[in-house]
Amino acid sequence: MTAEVLSVLNVEAGYRKGLAVLRGVSLHVREGQVAALLGSNGAGKTTLLRTVMGLIPDQPEKGEVVFRGVRLNGKDPDAVTRLGVVLVPEGRGLFPELTVEENLQLAGYARRYTGREYEAVLDRFPVLRERRWQQAGTLSGGEQQMLALARALLLRPSLLLLDEPSLGLAPRVVAQIFDILKSLNREGLSILRVEQNARMALTVAHYGYVLEAGRLVLEGPAERLRDDPNVQELYLGVQREPSPKGFRRWRPKRRWA
C-alpha cells in the first residue's frame, strides 16, 4: 500500500447553510495514482474539488481535507495551490484577454519557474509555443485545455485535480490529452479526475469512486468498476434486462451493494 497524497474524510459541504451538497464523503488519492470521480450532473463532483481547494468560503462544514499530513480546512485557495495541490477548474480558468505567454507567466507569480521548467512544459505542448503572443481567448478548445494544463504544470504540482478535462473537446483532442495525462502519471504525478463520461474516466485511472446525490455509492479499482453491472448500465450505457416488450427502462434500476 502506498501512502495517501490526499485524504477527504467525512466531508460535508454546501453553498448555503442547511443545504448540504456533499453529505459525508470520504475518499483517498494514493501517491502516484490516478483516481477518477464519477457521477451524473449535480452529484457534487465539482463541489468536492472546490471544497478541497478552499474555494467555498467557510466550508467544509464538517470533516477534514488532508494533503500529505497538512490540514487544508480553512486555507485560502492560493495557499492550497502553493502547497502543491493544483486545480484545473471547470471552464479552465484562463484569462481570455491576456496572451498565452502572460497566462503562463501568472503561474510564476508565487514561485518563479526556471527557464528549463518553462521549456520542458512548452516541449510537451508545442502548439502553445506557436501561439505565445495570441490572446488566450482566441485559442481553440483543445489548445485552451492544453494551456490550462501547461499553466498547472508550471506550478509544479504534487497532486493535480482536473474537473472534466475532456468536456466539449473533439475525440482526437481528448485522446491527445489523455496521453499527456498518462505520461505525467508515469512520471510520478498523482491525479484526481472528475468525469461525467465514465468510459473515458475509467480507461486512464487506477481507482474510481462513484458519487451520487452527495454520497459515495461505489468505489473500487478501475477494472472492477468497469465490469460492475450497475456502472455499466448507468454510466457506460450497456443495456441489460430488456423489459418483456423489449423497451428499455426509462429509469434504470440501481442496485448499489
Partner 1 sequence: MTLALQYVANGLAAGSLYALVALGIVLLYRSSRVLNFAHGDLATLGVFLAFTGITRGWRYGLCLAAGLLGAAAVSAGFYRLLIKPARQATSLSLVITTLGFALLLSGLMVWVWGTDTKVFPFPLSETRVHRLGGVVVSELTAGSLAVGLFLVSGLSVLVQKTRLGLAMRAVAQNPEAAQLLGVPAGRVLAATWAVAGVLGAAAGMLLAPAVLLDPFMMLDPFLKGFAAAVLGGMDSLPGAVVGGLLLGVAESAFAGYVSVKYKATLSFVVIVAVLLARPEGLLGRPFHRRV
If one asks whether residue 68 binds partner 1 (CB under 8 A), the answer comes out as: no
Q: Which of residues 72-111 bind partner 1 (CB under 8 A)?
A: 76-79, 81-82, 86-87, 89, 93-95, 97-98, 102, 105-107, 109-111
- Binding segment for partner 1 (CB under 8 A), chosen from 38-46, 53-61, 198-206, 220-228, is 53-61
Reading the block at residue 90, the C-alpha cell is: 471547470
Q: Give the up-direction half-sphere exposure of residue 28: CA atoms within 13 A in the CB hemisphere.
A: 12
C-beta of 153 vs 198, nearer to partner 1 = 153
| Residue selected from 28, 131, 151, 226 as contacting partner 1 according to rule CB under 8 A | 151
Reading the block at residue 244, the C-alpha cell is: 418483456
C-beta of 80 vs 198, nearer to partner 1 = 80
- Binding segment for partner 1 (CB under 8 A), chosen from 49-57, 185-193, 237-245, 249-257, is 49-57
C-beta of 88 vs 201, nearer to partner 1 = 88
> Can you give 55-77 as a three-state secondary structure string?
CCCCCCCEEEEEECCEECCCCCH
DSSP 3-30: PEEEEEEEEEEEEETTEEEEEEEEEEEE
Contact map string, positions 23 to 42, toward partner 1, x by CB under 8 A: --------------------
Binding site for partner 1 (CB under 8 A): 53, 55, 57, 76-79, 81-82, 86-87, 89, 93-95, 97-98, 102, 105-107, 109-111, 151, 155
